[in-house]
Amino acid sequence: MRRALIDCRAQDSDLADIMRLISHTSLALCCCLLFGTGVSVSWAQSPDRSEDRSEDMSEEILPVDSHHDALLSALIRCIDAPVEAWGHASPELTLDWGGALPFMEASVSAYLLAEGIALSSGGTGGRLRIDVDEGSLVYARAPRRAAEPLERRIRIGLRYSLMQPGGGIVASDSCLETRSSLHDRRLARSLADPRWSITNPDIPPTGRWLRYLQPTVLVAAAAVGTYLFFNLRSDRTDGS
């Protein structure tokens, strides 16, 4: 009787070990399945670059403004109103610049001259005061489905006041101009100008592994957490 009882206990112990092994094997297979699913999802969500490139080559390649020219274009958009208000037959104009992007003053002056507005360094004519409160140009990773991996973001905020020679205000307002465009890494480097920090922005890494690693790590972490939870639960059940 005693021997039979010992044999039954031994059989129960062997059966428990087998069930534990089956449970662990099933959980391991589940983890592998979840890990593979995460990799598959990440590959499925990544854009097909070969198709994008073939489509891009069939389209006309348009020129892209350098960082300096893109900033100038945003500034010009903001001061179009006072330029139109001043007109070409008005007296000379003095440009008074303040705030950020001081190196752009020369380019804005060249634009005003090209528009037929005579500039003066004295105080006899009118005066255009420009205060640039915000000027930024940065690169960020583009959205997942974008045609190119990098997005250039430009933000210009300024205030202007246009005054007549006698001191009367012709126009006074504020302007906020934001722009964005998609670039590849090689183009982003070619648009930089090392003379000023804002026209030489940092380029974030955009390797393919970043697109695949994040969802894969998240799924793998969830799988490991599930495995540990059921493993501890099984051990507690066997111990009781």
How many residues does the structure list for the chain? 240
At residue 172's C-alpha, the angle toward residues 166 and 174, to 5°, is 155
Torsion of CA 93, 98, 102, 107, to 10 degrees: -20
Phi/psi region, residue 151 (left: phi>0; alpha: psi -120 to 50; beta: rest), is beta
> Could you tell me the CA-to-CA distances from 223 to 28, 191, 228 in Å, in that order?
9, 44, 9
pLDDT tens string, the chain, 240 residues long: the values are 455 444 544 454 554 554 554 455 554 544 544 445 544 444 444 444 433 433 333 333 456 899 999 999 999 999 998 888 887 667 889 999 999 999 999 999 999 999 888 898 776 789 999 999 999 999 999 888 777 899 999 999 999 999 988 888 999 999 999 999 999 999 999 999 999 999 999 999 855 555 555 566 666 777 766 766 666 666 656 555
Confidence (pTM): 0.62
Q: Which domains does the chain have, with CATH numbers?
A: 59-206 (3.30.160)
